[in-house]
Amino acid sequence: MTGLLHPDLLRGRNVFVSGGGSGVNLAIARECAAVGANIAICGRTEAKLQAAVRELAEYGVKTSYAVADVRDEAAVAAAFDHAATEIGPMDGIVCGAAGNFLAPAQKISTNGFRAVTDIDLLGSFHCAKAGFEQVKQTGGALLFVSGGQSRMPFLHQAHVSAAKAGVDQLMRTLALEWGPLGIRSNSLVPGPVEGTEGMRRLTETADGDVWEGMVPLGRFARQDEVGRMAAVLLSPIASFVNGARIVVDGGMAMSGSAGFNAAVLSADS
C-alpha cells in the first residue's frame, strides 16, 4: 500500500538502518526511501545488501551499504564513516539488527544467550554511539527496533526478553542524555509481521491461525505498516516525541502471551 505518507516527508534526509538487507529493517528502509530519504544499510551478508540497495535506488534516492556485524564496534564505526562519505551525515539511525531462536532457558547455551544480547543490545549501542556525532550535527533521531518481549514474558524467549528490555532502557537513557542536544530517541515495537524469518520459524511450531488468533485485529502486520510508522517517527511529524515506546502489534500486547505460550508447549509435546 503506497501513497499514505507525503512523498517528500523525508526528502533530502539521510537514514542509516542496521540489519537493513532483509525483513522488517528492509521494510523500514523501503518506506523511508519512498518518502525521499537517502538510505545507508549495514549487515553481514553482502549479497542481501546489494540486492536491497538496488531495490532502494529505484525510489530515486542515494544509497550506500557496508558489510558489518553490529557486534564489532570498529566495523560499525567504519560503516557510519562510509555512509557519511557516500550520502552525508545521518538524520536518522534505525538500530534494527536482531537475532532470535526458540529454546527453554535451561537449554540456551552461554554462547547462544550472548549472541542474541550482543546483536540486539550491544549492537544497538554500537550503532547509537557510532552515529552520535552525525545526528548531533543534524539534530536527528534514533529509532530502536524492540519487541513485545521487553515487557511481556514469553516461553523460550529468556535471551530475547533480556536483550529487548535492555534496548528499551538504553533508548530511554539516551532520550534523557541526548535530548538536550536535540537528538530524539524512541523504540518501535512490532508484533508479528508477515513474510519475515521470525514468523516463518514461529509458524513452523504451530498452525498460523494460532498466532493470528492472539492479535485482536485477527492478522499479522504487513511489513509496510511497520515501515511507515518508522518513517513517521524519524520525520518532523514526531518532532516532540522522545523516550517513547511505540507499539505496532494490532493489540497483541493486550491479549497477553498465553496463546503464544500454549502454542509453544503444544509444539514441544
Which residue range is the domain that position 240 belongs to? 14-194+222-254
123 found inside a domain: yes
Q: Which of 18, 48, 64, 164 is catalytic?
A: 164
Q: Which of 64, 124, 146, 257 is catalytic?
A: 146
67 found inside a domain: yes
Taking only the tens place, the pLDDT of each residue in 128-165 is: 999 999 999 999 999 999 999 999 888 999 999 999 99
Please say if 146 is a catalytic residue.
Answer: yes
Based on the structure, what is the number of domains in the chain?
1
Q: Please identify which residue in the block is written with the cell numbers 511489513.
A: 223
Taking only the tens place, the pLDDT of each residue in 236-263 is: 999 999 999 999 999 988 887 777 777 6
CA dihedral (5, 7, 12, 17) positive or negative = positive
- C-alpha span between 258 and 231 (Å, rounded): 32
207 found inside a domain: no
pTM: 0.94
- CATH for 112: 3.40.50.720
Residues 64-79, mean pLDDT to the nearest whole number: 99
9 found inside a domain: no
261 found inside a domain: no
6 found inside a domain: no
8 found inside a domain: no
204 found inside a domain: no
Q: Please identify which residue in the block is written with the cell numbers 499514505.
A: 4
